[in-house]
Chains A and B, each alone.
Chain A
Amino acid sequence: MEITVTVNGAPRTADVEPRMLLVHLIRETFGLTGTHIGCDTTSCGACTVLLDGVPVKSCTLFGVQADGRSITTVEGLASGGELHPIQAAFKEHHGLQCGYCTPGMMLVGAALIERNPAPSEEEVRFAISGNICRCTGYMNIVKAIQAAAASKAGAGADEPAA
């Protein structure tokens, strides 16, 4: 089946079998291997991508379901050689160790601070509760997401009012 998906802002077409999972479409057909596969059973969140801005587990969605829709993967966070505030904050606050969960954590964090510019620690922990990290103990992930929110809000304040 022929589909067109907007991936990180650019339209991509592919001819796929309906049973191909979105995560395989992204990794194998589009070659974007920043989206990881952990459990393959909808439990870990390593495969998280944004579907029209909403975080979902791409191991539990068929690629054909993304036809005509827009996907953001971790590769789509940085723009023009600049790290996204969430990436800068993960780097600054040591929000990762092995990095396996990191793309998912950053995408969930980016989506959260998009709709909640100053999330509390509790709100961050609730938002990432579908994403498992086996390394960090979550402390620095939470810190990084809150710091990203603060830096994004700060950057916004510097912009001249429209």
Chain B
Amino acid sequence: MLPSRFEYHRAETLDEALSLLATYGEDAKVLAGGQSLIPMMKLRFAYPGHLVDVNRVPGLDGIEERDGALRIGALVRHHALETSELIRSRYPTIAAAAPQIADPLVRNLGTIGGSIAHADPAGDLASVMLALGATVVLRSSGGSRELPLREFLVDTFTTQIRPDEMLTEIVVPAAEPSSGGTYLKQERKVGDWATVGVAVALTLRDGRIARAGIGLTSVGLTNLEATEAEEALAGAEPTDEAFAEAARLAAAAAHPVSDVRGSAEYKRHVVDVYVRRGLARAREMAAA
């Protein structure tokens, strides 16, 4: 399948990428891993006139903790997240999700920035980042701004990003002591999108829940944050009963549709089960 014609621009620096985006505006798209954009162009769902290839822009592939935050560059490949020692040792929700995204070859190219900017509600990383309370950094030639991910995501394939902006970084509050988390994904086979995915992050303090984060995949128009469930958990004791109530609230917040992967009723049930299971696993980690 052949995409429609476009002009190809390879940016060597971030400034060059941003100036190309400013010049071509709506008619330009950033080409990162290409693992969502190229399939869409082949199907002619997307037909940008200009592609700005940012794969060789330096400085966007870091994973580091700085000033109380984990900062992940937009060009960090899924495979790099999957194999990062920092992620493995301190961010179990990300560590659990990374190897479940797509397949190993797609993960060698696909990037976190692309996954989040693409805003497919079936994407795994946005749910993880919602659970972790992440913000995104958007840069343009004119300056930069930072938005909470939950505000950034507007609708399926739609975000707050302007045509002249590029997502450059994802910022996550640094891991706290006594915390845990995981990502549970139901997929029919390797490489399939989630039937349902649930990301959970939990921090305990003095026997109570200091913070709980829950992100849901494939059960709404965007990745959803189960805010009512999170609020019910905050300050509560981490009991099975509290988890069951949170799971009920999360399932109620989900808006799945029936499709080849399962009925809406089934998916809602999986949300309920996975939230309980994920919270219990996170509690074990937090207590360890």
Write the residues of chain A forming the contact surface with B, with a CB cutoff of 8 angstroms.
Answer: 1, 17-19, 21, 40-43, 45, 48, 54-57, 60-62, 64-65, 67, 108, 126-127, 129-131
Contacts and interface: CB of A to CB of B under 8 A. Distances in A.
B204 to A, nearest CB: 33
Contacts of B191: 43, 129-130
B104 to A, nearest CB: 5
Given A55-B108, A56-B105, A57-B105, A40 B1 contact: yes
A85 B74 CA distance: 38
15 contacts: A40-B1, A42-B39, A43-B191, A45-B103, A54-B108, A57-B105, A60-B34, A60-B39, A60-B106, A62-B38, A64-B53, A65-B31, A129-B104, A129-B190, A131-B105
**The 3 residue pairs across chains A and B that have the minimum distance between CB atoms:** A130-B103, A18-B8, A130-B105
Given A55-B108, A56-B109, A65-B55, A130 B8 contact: no
Contact of A1 (B1, B8, B35, B106): B8
Given A62-B8, A65-B55, A108-B104, 18 more contacts: A1-B8, A18-B6, A19-B5, A19-B6, A21-B42, A41-B42, A45-B105, A48-B105, A60-B34, A60-B39, A61-B34, A61-B38, A62-B34, A108-B105, A129-B103, A129-B104, A130-B190, A131-B105
Given A17-B5, A65-B55, A55 B105 contact: yes
B144 to A, nearest CB: 27
A21 B37 CA distance: 13
Given A108-B105, A129-B190, A130-B103, A60 B7 contact: no
B3 interface: yes
B55 A18 contact: no
B214 interface: no
A44 B193 CA distance: 15
Interface of B: 1-8, 10, 31, 34-35, 38-39, 41-42, 51, 53, 55, 99, 102-106, 108-109, 190-191
A55 B104 CA distance: 9
A56 B108 contact: yes
Contacts of B103: 45, 129-130
Nearest to A131: B105
Contacts of A45: 103, 105
A19 B4 contact: yes
A65 B54 CA distance: 10
B51 A130 contact: no
B55 to A, nearest CB: 7
A61 B51 contact: no
A131 B8 CA distance: 29
A49 to B, nearest CB: 10
Nearest to A17: B5
B4 A126 contact: no
A60 B6 contact: no
A42 B2 CA distance: 14
A40 B42 contact: yes
A48 B4 CA distance: 23
Contacts of A21: 2, 38, 42
Nearest to B37: A60
A1 B3 CA distance: 16
B6 A41 contact: no
Contact of B106 (A17, A42, A54, A65): A42
B34 A130 contact: no
Contact of A130 (B6, B39, B42, B104): B104
